[in-house]
């Protein structure tokens, strides 16, 4: 038996595990689904035939999303997390390479490397913004351009006019809007205008459904048709669809929690403004090398590397958790004589 050398040399995606008090490293929603909504879900599951496969193209959830977003069902695809959709998007189009804009979400490069697809990196500027002209110039032979907005791990929205400069080249442009609910600004109204514009969304963040693995994309019917030609059948379970559909029926709960998280994000930013960058997401990028210090206090955050070496990414948690982080980071900065920006 011989395993591909590329697989044996591949660096797997890893997260810290262990018994820590506060977990603020994965940009999860700090609130579980309310018990009364869980009970509604459980009642729906009682009628589910567990011996039957789910709908082959996740049509029940696609129809619910179409109604929710005001789109046709043929403009929506659903995946087992948005990562599954990225997996297909890096392989679906003709071209010689993908374009990414580091520092950004690592899964675009992860899947490209796995399939031996070259990657052209066009780094964000010092304010973490894309340069639409530069990307457009280098996109002639690209199979796709991946842009996260709000960007992970920097937290900022990308300027719409810069994104559209790239979209107008005609190259497939995948705009990852995983954190869009916390930003309040989307390119959803541009999807039908530009057939090469693809938006990625997730139920993991604002909806608080990271455990069920559900993501979706909104794109032209041509793109949706193509992805369902190659997508694994039955990949989104009936259980996942029922849970996601139920949360869409209770979107007021999602909105209430988004409002809380945004208010806490802004409070934390004010308290840590000497070290924190403004954010449009549910986390803050902080210019303090405090990962080990926080870990010693039982607080897990994301340690960053490369261009962001010496920075941490902190998910917005519950108020008591955020208070502990604020206090600990102020202590760290004071003890180490760290100045602000």
Note the pLDDT tens digit of each residue in 228-287.
Answer: 999 999 999 999 999 999 999 999 999 999 999 999 999 999 999 999 999 999 999 999
Q: What's the token pair of residue 298?
A: 């039982």
Report the share of the chain in percent with pLDDT over 70: 99
Which of 206, 226, 249 is where one domain is finished?
249
- Of the pLDDT bands very low, low, confident and very high (cuts 50, 70, 90), residue 8 is confident
Domain residue limits at 63: 48-249
Tens of pLDDT, residues 274-310 = 999 999 999 999 999 999 999 999 999 999 999 999 9
Residue 229 confidence (pLDDT) = 96
Report the share of the chain in percent with pLDDT over 90: 92
Residues 276 and 184 grouped into a single domain: no
Instruction: State pTM to two decimals.
Output: 0.96
pLDDT of 335 > 80? The answer is no
Assigned domain for 314 exists = yes
Per the DSSP assignment, residues forming a β-bridge with 147 are 175
Distances (CA, A) of 152 to 100, 157, 177, 340: 12, 10, 10, 22
Residues 213 and 311 grouped into a single domain: no
Residues 158 and 222 grouped into a single domain: yes
Distances (CA, A) of 48 to 45, 54, 250: 5, 10, 21
pLDDT of 180 > 90? The answer is yes
Number of residues in the chain? 341
Averaged pLDDT for residues 69-95: 97
Assigned domain for 104 exists = yes
């Amino acid at each position: 038996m011989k395993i591909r050398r590329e697989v044996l040399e591949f660096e797997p995606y890893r997260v810290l595990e262990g018994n820590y008090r506060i977990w603020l490293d994965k940009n999860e929603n700090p609130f579980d689904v309310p018990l009364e909504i869980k009970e509604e879900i459980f009642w729906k599951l009682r009628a589910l035939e567990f011996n039957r496969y789910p709908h082959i193209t996740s049509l029940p959830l696609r129809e619910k999303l179409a109604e929710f977003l005001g789109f046709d069902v043929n403009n929506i695809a659903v995946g087992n997390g948005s990562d599954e959709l990225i997996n297909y998007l890096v392989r679906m189009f003709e071209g010689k390479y993908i374009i990414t804009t580091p520092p950004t979400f690592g899964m675009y490069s992860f899947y490209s490397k796995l399939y031996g697809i070259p990657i052209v990196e066009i780094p964000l500027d010092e304010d973490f913004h894309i340069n639409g002209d530069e990307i457009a110039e280098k996109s002639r032979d690209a199979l796709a351009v991946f842009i996260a907005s709000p960007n992970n791990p920097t937290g900022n929205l990308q300027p719409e006019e810069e994104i559209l400069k790239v979209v107008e080249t005609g190259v497939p442009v995948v705009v990852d809007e995983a954190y869009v609910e916390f930003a309040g600004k989307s390119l959803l109204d541009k999807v039908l205008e530009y057939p090469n514009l693809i938006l990625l969304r997730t139920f993991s963040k604002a909806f608080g459904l990271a455990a069920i693995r559900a993501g979706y994309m909104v794109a032209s019917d041509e793109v949706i048709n193509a992805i369902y030609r190659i997508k694994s059948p039955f990949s989104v379970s009936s259980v996942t669809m029922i849970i996601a559909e139920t949360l869409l029926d209770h979107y007021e709960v999602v909105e209430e929690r988004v409002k809380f998280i945004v208010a806490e994000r802004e409070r934390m930013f004010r308290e840590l403004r000497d070290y924190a960058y403004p954010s449009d997401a549910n986390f803050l990028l902080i210019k303090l090398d405090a990962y080990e210090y926080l870990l010693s206090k039982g607080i897990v955050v994301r340690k960053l590397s490369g261009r962001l070496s010496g920075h941490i990414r902190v998910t917005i948690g519950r108020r008591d958790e955020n208070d502990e982080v604020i206090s600990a980071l102020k202590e760290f900065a004071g003890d180490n004589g760290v100045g602000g920006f």
